[in-house]
Amino acid sequence: MSIVLPCYNEEDVLRETHSRLIGVIGSDRSAEYEVLYVDDGSVDGTWSVIQEFAAREPSVRALRFGRNFGHQAGCLAGLREAVGDAVVIIDADLQDPPELIPEMVSLWRQGWPVVSARRSGREGEGYFKKLSAFAYYRILKAISDHPVALDTGDFRLLDRNVVDLLTGLGDNELFLRGAISWAGFPETAVEYQRGSRASGESKYTLRKMLALSRRGIISGSAVPLRAPAYLGLVSLAGAGGIAVSRRDPKAAMTAAMFGFQTLAIGVLGEYLRGVFRYVEDRPAYVISERTASVPTADSSPVPAVEEVA
Ligand code: UDP
Ligand code: MG
């Protein structure tokens, strides 16, 4: 098992996080663990604290970014670097309790390739964060081609197959939760109450939160690009209505002009979506399982019909 912890300026909480994490995985004799810290360009003492852990414990490894590249980049780096049969991504501030890991591992052993942690409550978070997260997840679900599970973040366990698929996508702007739901592996969840961070302030500034939300919408939904086309069609229908019912050619022309222009933007959007899909270059499908009897490329050929008879 690999445990990935992206950290940005977490000097204050890291010792507590580490000892709680080690407490949990140290008492689990059923698996071998590696702990992988990704220092996302911290400017406090985070890196020296991590180095201390790595010097003391052979199961601890760490990477350090040259500057702050963001939490999603940290997760991606961790996934690329991890060697476990499964990888758990967890926040460094103890808002994601490490005590859930054994339960997630046992669900993975039962055959679930993705085990997410669903927040059944957000006790420790401010009103604005709660409301914006509540609204955002629901909007994203409504407009996405492949909806992200409600109220889940990046605290997840991913099977090796899922990790290999995600890191093989070559997507440098990966929106992890979106890509996981796009891949569509069977997913289950454990529930937890999200408490407040053990120490320090949120490292997700409003700007970073908006950037993440934008990334989620752009990579997961065509609705914003298509919206002008729908608006244009409605305007054209309105123009027709005005022309017939009010016999007001001037008003009808104005509505029609607006309709044509917005429709044209919508058509451009549709082509842009095509280009986006092409550049994104995702595989056409993802295979999550095979039966044992399906011949693979390197197995012996299927016997000819005569031989079978
Ligand atoms: N984080 C990171 N890079 C950033 C911002 C945050 O690696 O630019 C890490 C942070 O150290 C923590 C996790 O991402 O381990 C979640 O961040 P935070 O707890 O600040 O976000 P919140 O829980 O408030 O959404
Ligand atoms: Mg947090």
Q: Tens digit of pLDDT for each residue in 29-62?
A: 888 999 999 999 999 999 999 999 999 999 999 9
**pTM (predicted TM-score):** 0.88
Distance 3 CA to ligand 2 centre (A): 17
Count other Cβ atoms within 10 Å, centred on residue 160: 15
Q: Where are the domains of the chain?
A: 2-203+283-307, 220-279
Distance 24 CA to ligand 2 centre (A): 20
Q: Tens digit of pLDDT for each residue in 253-296?
A: 999 999 999 999 999 999 999 999 999 999 999 998 889 876 66
E-strand stretches of 152-294? 152-159, 187-193
Q: With a 6 A CB cut-off, is 194 part of the ligand 1 pocket?
A: no
Distance 154 CA to ligand 1 centre (A): 11
Residues near ligand 2 ion, CB 5 Å cutoff:
93, 95, 197
CA-nearest residue for atom 10, ligand 1, is: 7
For the CA of 153, the nearest atom of ligand 1 = 25
Confidence check: pLDDT of 144 > 60: yes
Alpha carbons 98 and 114: distance in angstroms, whole number: 17
Distance 24 CA to ligand 1 centre (A): 22
CATH second-level architecture of 2-203+283-307? Answer: Alpha-Beta Complex (3.90)
